[in-house]
Structure 1
Amino acid sequence: MHDDFEFSTDPARLDLDRVHTWLADESYWAMGRSRAALEAAVAASRNYGVYDIASGAQLAYARVITDGVTFAWLCDVFVDAEARGRGIGVALIGQIMASLEPLGLRRIGLTTADAHGLYERFGFRPLDQPEQWMARMAPITTD
Structure 2
Amino acid sequence: MFQVVEYKRNDMMISTNHALIQMDRVCEFLAQSYWANQRERTTIIKSIEHSLCFSLFHGQTQIGFARVVTDGATFAYLCDVFIDEAYRGRELGKWLVECVLQHPDLLNIRRFLLVTKDAHGLYQPFGFEVLHEPDQFMEIFRHC
TM-score, reference length from structure 2 = 0.90
Unaligned runs of 5+ in 2: 1-7
* Mapped pair 1:110 → 2:117: no
Structure 1 ranges of 4+ moved more than 2 A: 100-103
Residue aligning to 2:25: 18
Cα drift, residue 101 of structure 1:
6.4
Contact 1:7 1:49 in 2 (8 A): yes
Looking at structure 2, the residues matched to 30 and 50 of structure 1 have their Cα atoms a distance apart, in angstroms, of 19
Question: Which of 42, 60, 65 is the equivalent residue of 1:61?
Answer: 65
Looking at structure 1, the residues matched to 48 and 103 of structure 2 have their Cα atoms a distance apart, in angstroms, of 17
% identical equivalent positions: 40
Cα drift, residue 17 of structure 1:
0.4
Residue aligning to 2:133: 129
Spell out the pairing of 1:1-143 with structure 2 (5 A cutoff): 1-24=8-31, 26-53=32-59, 56-100=60-104, 103-140=107-144
Cα drift, residue 107 of structure 1:
0.7
Looking at structure 2, the residues matched to 33 and 136 of structure 1 have their Cα atoms a distance apart, in angstroms, of 17
Contact 1:23 1:31 in 2 (8 A): yes
Q: How many residues align?
A: 137
TM-score, reference length from structure 1 = 0.90
Looking at structure 2, the residues matched to 84 and 102 of structure 1 have their Cα atoms a distance apart, in angstroms, of 26
Bigger share in strand = 2
Cα drift, residue 2 of structure 1:
3.0
Specify the code of the residue in structure 2 equivalent to 1:91.
W
Cα RMSD between the aligned structures? 1.4
Q: Residue 121 of structure 1: SS of its match in structure 2? A: helix
In the superposition, relative to structure 1, how do residues 101 and 46 fare at CA in structure 2: closer, same or farther (>3 Å)? closer
Unaligned runs of 5+ in 1: none
